[in-house]
Structure 1
Amino acid sequence: MHVQEWLETVPAVAVYALVGVVIGLESLGIPLPGEIILVSSALLASQHGDIDPVVLGACATAGAIIGDSIGYAIGRKGGRPLLAWLGARFPRHFSEGHIATAERSFQKWGMWAVFFGRFVALLRIFAGPLAGVLRMPYWKFLTANVLGGIVWAGGTTAVIYYVGVVAESWLKRFSWLGLVAAVLIGVTSMLVLRRKAKKAAARTSEPVAAAE
């Protein structure tokens, strides 16, 4: 069953909770499809009035900020053993190469890595724990975390919601647009054919007139 089809079967409150929890766990450092859940829920909100996009965006933002903060705290206390444990459990996401790349990004860019990490799947998982492991000052982490969470979670919800509303409105008018287009194409074709027929008749009558 598709994610959106499954979401349609649960109450709105459960959708809010699911979005917040999944995004929070992903931000904490557990590889989960947070972005897929958020996009599917925002599309569902654009099609059904039961789900409020503002509440949905708020739950997604809260999950992102809280999850990242918990990940930061765990990383600061757990340090390298935490990354080793995650690497053993999730080798595809926490390989030594991925960790080294993320570390270089954090050491070079700091707050920007936390902020823009929201928009990159792997960095979204790494951001909180790795910022804690590298002992980034908490006020810097919190600033980038809050701004990134608002822009990513709130912005994604708003964009997908309004795209869904526009798409649904366009699809509802599609049958009328198709009918109008078919009529216009038919009339245009008829006029073109009549014009070509007149030209052909004129060319045929010219030799006859000259012979007479």
Structure 2
Amino acid sequence: MHIDEWLQVIPAGWLYVTVALVIGFESLGIPLPGEIVLVSAALLAAKGVVDPVWVGACASAGAIVGDSAGYAIGRKGGAPMFARLGRRFPKHFGPRHVGKAEEYFHRFGVWAVFVGRFVALLRILAGPLAGALRMPYWKFAVANVLGGIVWAGGTTAVIFYLGLVAEKWLKGFSWVGLVVAVLFGVATTLYLKRRAASALDEGDLKGVVRGPVDM
């Protein structure tokens, strides 16, 4: 059963809770499909199954709380925590991934927390890494709140309205429009994955959690 099909069988109230929890745990540092759940919930809102305002609000709350908890864990665990996670979960917390995320922090400072909401790699690592790098909490909190609201609320709004438009459009063009939409979606996904993989191959990734970041 696909995620969207699974979400459809959940009562609306529990669906909001599910969105908040999945995104919250992802922001905490656990690799879960937060963005997929958010997009699926927003599409269900376009179909009238749930309220888009509640979807955006719960997603924002989950993102903000999860990142804050991740910050606290990272601040306490520091570099040794990332070393242990890298050995146990190399696909998500290996030196290449953490090193690339740290490079973003050293380059962009507090903006890495805000922008990290829109980048799959940083969405999982931003909170814990900000804590491990001793980013001042008030700066982290501002970027975290703004990033969480813009990402979660913005994604919900965009997908919701695109869903409404797509539904009307597909009704007019039937299966031809559906095929075109699917092919475009697959091509876009493959392109973004290749770009992400290329980005991970760039830069010096030898140092992991080197020390406090100049914010």
TM-score tier by shorter-chain length is 0.7 to 0.9
Q: Which structure is larger by alpha-carbon Rg, 1 or 2?
A: 1
Q: Which residue of 2 aligns with 1:206?
A: none
Pair 1:91 & 2:118 matched: no
- Residue 100 of structure 1, CA deviation: 1.4
Structure 2: unaligned runs, 5 residues or longer:
175-215
What pairs up with 1:1-212 in 2 under 5 angstroms?
1-47=1-47, 49-174=48-173
Per-residue deviation, residues 30-51 of structure 1 (Å, max 9, x unmatched):
111100010011111101x230
- Residue 65 of structure 1, CA deviation: 0.4
SS of corresponding position for 1:31: coil
- Residue 171 of structure 1, CA deviation: 2.9
- Residue 157 of structure 1, CA deviation: 0.4
Per-residue deviation, residues 96-117 of structure 1 (Å, max 9, x unmatched):
1111111121122111111111
- Residue 69 of structure 1, CA deviation: 0.3
CA distance in 2, matches of 1:97, 1:66: 27
CA distance in 2, matches of 1:43, 1:153: 14
CA distance in 2, matches of 1:94, 1:168: 39
CA distance in 2, matches of 1:88, 1:37: 28
What letter matches 2:168 in structure 1?
S
When normalised by structure 2's length, the TM-score is 0.78
When normalised by structure 1's length, the TM-score is 0.79
SS of corresponding position for 1:77: helix
- Residue 169 of structure 1, CA deviation: 2.1
CA distance in 2, matches of 1:83, 1:123: 14
SS of corresponding position for 1:165: helix
Per-residue deviation, residues 150-175 of structure 1 (Å, max 9, x unmatched):
11110000000000011112233447
The range that moved more, 81-90 or 95-104, is 81-90
Structure 1: unaligned runs, 5 residues or longer:
176-212
Per-residue deviation, residues 120-159 of structure 1 (Å, max 9, x unmatched):
1111001000000000001110111111101111000000
CA distance in 2, matches of 1:43, 1:73: 33
How many residues matched?
Answer: 174
Identity of aligned residues (%): 70
SS of corresponding position for 1:32: coil
Q: CA RMSD in A?
A: 1.2
What letter matches 1:29 in structure 2?
G
Per-residue deviation, residues 7-50 of structure 1 (Å, max 9, x unmatched):
11111111101110000000000111100010011111101x23
- Residue 2 of structure 1, CA deviation: 1.4
